[in-house]
Structure 1
Amino acid sequence: MKQKVGKVYLVGAGPGDPGLITVKGLECIKKAEVLVYDRLAGHRLLTYARPDAELIFVGKGPDKHVYRQEEINEVLKVKGLEGKIVTRLKGGDPFVFGRGGEEAEVLREAGVPFEIVPGITSAISVPAYAGIPVTHRDFTSNFAVITGNEDPTKEDSAIDWAKISTGIGTLVFLMGMGNLPHIAAKLMEHGRSPETPVGLIRWGTRPEQRTLTGTLADIAQKAKEAAFQNPAIIIVGEVVKLREKLAWLEEKPLFGKRIVVTRSRQQASAFAARLEEMGGEPWEFPTIDIQEPEDPAPLEEAIAKVHEYEWIIFTSPNGVQRFFERFFAVGHDIRELCGIRLCAIGPQTRKELQKFGLKTDFVPEEYRAEAIIEGLKNLDDWQGRKVLLPRADIARKILPEALASFGAQVDDVVAYRTVRGGGDAVLLRQMLQDKLIHAITFTSSSTARNFVDMLGVEDVAERNALLEGVTMASIGPITSDTMRELGLPVDVEATEYTIPGLMKALLSHWGIHE
């Protein structure tokens, strides 16, 4: 039987901000059996890969080649011939100094089907993130993108310095920091004014983005003094002057902050979106995952007799979601809840109930079980009251025990399981070692416990050294107590035990006003 041949997608990942990948590019990541990526492809994009995907890092940096291009070509060819769906994830656009054309040629010669998925090139996106348009009607109507790493000792240069120096308004050099003095000298030698503005943008579109401006005459010296290195682009032209007026990214309150979100993937999106909106980069490291109960029978039995309950107490949005998923799945009608009083532990849980058109009868002022107990104690005569408590398998026993002590008949049923998540601990440890993480957020005791387990650093002193300089933020006192028991520092504790409250506390800690 003839062996099935796979397919290779040569995908442009964009300049670094994961939000700049194309819809089709993201689809290719999600379906890939093999993901071949380099250092300029944003690592957050890897979180969209299938759990069983084979991840192959072929990163290359100036003078730090991990894989030769020929070896990368061979990986793509071999995996394609094995019948795999392969996504080659490349920073920027695969056909703009990305050597995608060479990879495509090898695949064509080997008979491996391929597709090109263009990406947003750093040549235009990185200047835009620095507030520099490559064209502007008041300055120039043309621009050129030029490789910056051509050997300066080469006798026959592929760059026509005479033409580009005076014939093109904006020049964008990629991968050129090592040749910056040579580039500036060549442009001035061929007629470009020494006073021409120049911008250098490092790690564009990412939290580490830094911009340095000068002129052709002084930019090389400025870069040397600032130790400005790759990966960076060089932009030459009058449009660089506009940065002073148009810079926008640096004005966002969380610019430059990379914040770890330890919630489950199902819950992290809203928090992550808010962080991004404020200019931060959320780094999703899910320490928990929300799953169905191992035995759904107790929940289904409670739902079958739901009309018998006088109170249903929800202690999390997950509890609401899972209860109603099962409620409707087994054929029940919302009208069956008529007359039942509803309690929500906090505003987020209340909002989840509102999605089903339900109003709550009680929400405590402080969003934890102890406050529910205190608030409900005198709200009803609990003797003989039937109460349903659909919640997590690992929830604390304080609430059902207190209600039972009041005389209530409590059915404490598992609506969902909280299990260990699938965050990439190896990558997180590396990020912490490289001091690229600014804060880690914890939204429950289980996120803290699983974080410690997954991080895999048992020695508390060694772990705290790894976390030195990182702001450790807790959603409330219960989570904070657990963190301290585990030997984790608590730098920030929300006074309102919600995600908005945690965000507010974090901003306050950093002296940032929304």
Structure 2
Amino acid sequence: MSLPLSGYRIWITRPADQARYLTEAIIKNGAQTYTSPLLTISPAIDQGQLDDAIACLNQFDLAVFISPSALNAVFTKLSTPWPSDLPVAVVGPGSAKRAAELGVKHIICPATQFDGEGLLKELGAQTGQKIVLFRGNGGRDILPAGLSAAGADVTLVTAYQRSAPTLDASEIERQLQLGCDGIVISSSEAAQHLFNWAGGETRHKLQCALYFVPHHRIAEALQANGANNIVQTEAGDDGITHSICRYFAPVLSPKE
């Protein structure tokens, strides 16, 4: 029996430090992959703010991490193990998996709705709690505003910088000619960077492409740029992989 993705070529646009597991999972299912990050992750400009927050972790009741990149930025700087009595809250299974890999024992994650709104529902009332929230520059305000409205004292920390990459037009065209059966986009910002960059015939080709996205906001960002062939996947790397397999080979890809 052939693998579910044999003969297909999938583009993965995750930041470089988050693409490895998903790429390997898709390759194991038979696909060829092309990795072209649509977000560049770099250290926060204000390292002092990050250092100060890490130095006083014992003053907080809860630490919230918006993404695996936020976890990586903080844990890279830790000189001692994560405080055992400080729970970590994350918005989705990718971050939960990364937190577990980093040794965190008490992880809070929504059961179904993997976004800021879902985490707010999971956390419930936070009256009087001191919360530190680690995120990238310019993150959405839904979560910190919701926590503050629930009575929490929230400290916002920019743990890393997100920026648009420099894309090589000739390389993207070459990759389109080699074949693109689906593009995985994992953030609305990444989708916007792609279409901000693309023009002319390249933009038209990208509008006609098939996209796999784990959240409806990403689908909305793609639709706003003229793309309509969009499949919303399950969450997390395993969920994305399973959804892609099910799309291309539904008979061959029962869920494990």
- TM-score, length of structure 2 as denominator length: 0.89
1:309-320 equivalence runs, <5 A = 309-320=60-71
Tell me, yes or no, if structure 1 residue 467 matches structure 2 residue 202: no
Measured in 1, the distance between the counterparts of 2:218 and 2:183 equals 13
Greater relative contact order: 1 or 2 (C-alpha under 8 angstroms, separation 6 or more)? 2
**Identity across matched positions, percent:** 23
Partner of 1:408: 152
CA apart distance, 1:431: 3.5
Counterpart-to-counterpart distance in 1, 2:208 and 2:4: 19
Contact 1:264 1:289 in 2 (8 A): yes
CA distance in 2, matches of 1:491, 1:505: 12
- Please provide the CA RMSD for this pair: 2.1
CA 1:468–1:479: 2 relative to 1, 3 Å: closer
Which residue pairs with 1:386 in the alignment?
A: 130
TM-superposed deviation, 1:355: 2.3
Aligned with residue 453 of structure 1, among 177, 188, 196: 196
Q: Give unpaired runs (5+ residues) of structure 1.
A: 1-247
| Counterpart residue identity of residue 438, structure 1 | D
1:490 Cα deviation from its structure 2 partner:
4.3
Q: Distance in 1 between matches of 2:189 and 2:207?
A: 22
Match of 2:162 among 399, 418, 421: 418
281 and 422 in structure 1: CA distance in 2 versus 1, 3 angstrom threshold:
farther
Distance 2:144 2:13 in 1: 27
Distance 2:166 2:17 in 1: 12
Q: How far apart are the structure 2 equivalents of 1:258 and 1:427?
A: 16
Could you tell me which residue of structure 2 aligns to residue 306 of structure 1? 57
> Where do residues 2-401 of structure 1 align in structure 2 (5 Å cutoff)?
251-328=2-79, 333-334=80-81, 337-365=83-111, 366-378=113-125, 382-401=126-145
How far apart are the structure 1 equivalents of 2:21 and 2:152? Answer: 36
Any idea what the Cα deviations from partners look like across 1:324-378, whole Å, max 9, x if unmatched? 11223xxxx226x232222122222122222232223421012111100111124
Instruction: Supply the distance in 2 between the matched residues of 1:511 and 1:502 (Cα, whole angstroms).
Output: 14
Shift of 1:315: 2.0
Residues 423, 465 of structure 1: CA spacing in aligned structure 2 closer, same or farther, 3 A cutoff? closer
Largest Rg, 1 or 2:
1
Q: Deviations over 1:35-60 (max 9, x none)?
A: xxxxxxxxxxxxxxxxxxxxxxxxxx
Kept after mapping to 1: 8 A contact 2:93/2:235: no
Instruction: Write the distance in 2 (CA, Å) between the matches of 1:388 and 1:293.
Output: 16
2:182 equivalent in structure 1 = 439
The 3 A distance-change label for structure 1 pair 425 and 265 is farther
Distance 2:137 2:207 in 1: 33
Offset of residue 396 of structure 1? 0.7
The question of whether the paired residues in 1 share the 8 Å contact of 2:10 and 2:32 is answered with yes
Distance 2:124 2:205 in 1: 45
Q: Distance in 1 between matches of 2:196 and 2:215?
A: 21
| Partners of 2:127 and 2:205 in 1: CA distance | 52
Deviation at 1:309, TM superposition (A): 0.3
Partner Cα separation in structure 1 for residue 30 and residue 168 of structure 2? 23
Equivalent residue pairs, number: 251
Question: Aligned equivalents of 2:249 and 2:70: distance in 1?
Answer: 35
2:241 maps to 503
TM-score normalized by structure 1? 0.46
Q: CA deviation at 1:464?
A: 6.0
Following the alignment from structure 2 to structure 1, what is the Cα–Cα distance between the partners of residues 4 and 104? 36
Partner SS for 1:279: coil
Q: C-alpha deviations, 1:473-504, integer Å up to 9, x for none?
A: 1121121122222332242101x321222222
Distance, in Å, in 2 between the alignment partners of 1:423 and 1:465 is 17
Contact 1:483-1:490 within 8 A present in 2 as well = no
> Residues 423 and 257 (structure 1 numbering): CA distance in 2 closer, same or farther, change over 3 Å?
farther
Runs of 4+ aligned structure 1 residues displaced above 6 Å come to: none
Deviation at 1:296, TM superposition (A): 0.9
Secondary structure of the corresponding residue to residue 291 of structure 1: strand
**Alpha-carbon spacing, 1:345–1:468, altered in 2? closer, same or farther (3 Å):** closer
- CA distance in 2 between counterparts of 1:486 and 1:301 reads 40
- Alignment-mate amino acid for residue 106 of structure 2: T
Distance in 1, Cα, partners of 2:17 & 2:86: 29
Alpha-carbon distance, 1:468 to partner = 6.4
Contact 1:262 1:284 in 2 (8 A): yes
- With over 3 angstroms needed to count, the CA separation of the structure-2 counterparts of 1:276 and 1:361, relative to structure 1, is closer
CA contact (8 A) 1:286 1:423 kept: no
